[in-house]
Amino acid sequence: MKAPQIVLATGKRKTAVARATVRKGIGAVWVNDRPLELVEPEMVRQKIQEPLLMIGDRSRTLNITVHVTGGGIVGQASAARTAVARGLISWLKDDQLRDMFRHYDRSLLVNDPRRKLPKRPGGRGARKRRQKSYR
């Protein structure tokens, strides 16, 4: 069976959506048209790098491009991380890698279903209420 030319994968977290493209290359990783090395803050960079560090040298033969929209920086990082991990599994077709990702952190492969609670009447947010006076 012939290896795929290109693999597309998606990841979601809160309102952030990431689309990753994996293709044969030299080990370059780009996030929103910027090299991964220039992504700030460092915690976000490390979060996106996790699946790449777990597969080791096998990532040096791949180019990965990630486009992320919506949400905040941490939500975008989690969505990008999921998209990269799914793309790597689709490209490498390795069941041991899938099990390793699942054992390390399930959110590498599965979108986080948690969403923000809607605001309700009687207060400023989903939970906060106006103070009640008895006298």
What CATH number does the domain containing 29 carry? 3.30.230.10
Q: Which residues pair with 16 in a beta bridge?
A: 13
Contact at 8 Å (CB) between 60 and 27? Answer: yes
Give me the amino acid identity at 15. Answer: T
* Per-residue confidence band for 75, with pLDDT thresholds at 50, 70 and 90: very high
Is 132 inside any structural domain? Answer: no
Q: What percent of the chain has pLDDT over 90?
A: 39
Is 3 inside any structural domain? Answer: no
- Classify strands 62-69 and 29-31 as parallel, antiparallel or unpaired: parallel
Q: Distance between CA 23 and CA 5 in Å, rounded?
A: 6
| Number of domain units in the chain | 1
Domain carrying residue 24: 9-107
Is 66 inside any structural domain? Answer: yes
Residue 84: phi, psi to the nearest 5? -65, -45
Q: What is the DSSP letter of 37?
A: G
Compute the average pLDDT of residues 14-41. Answer: 90
Bond prior to 41 in cis (omega within 30° of 0): yes
Q: What is the mean pLDDT of the chain?
A: 89
Is 2 inside any structural domain? Answer: no
Over 70: is that where the pLDDT of 26 sits?
A: yes
Over 80: is that where the pLDDT of 112 sits?
A: yes
Edge-to-edge order in the sheet of strand 29-31: 6-13, 16-24, 62-69, 29-31, 34-35
Q: Length of the chain in residues, anyone?
A: 135
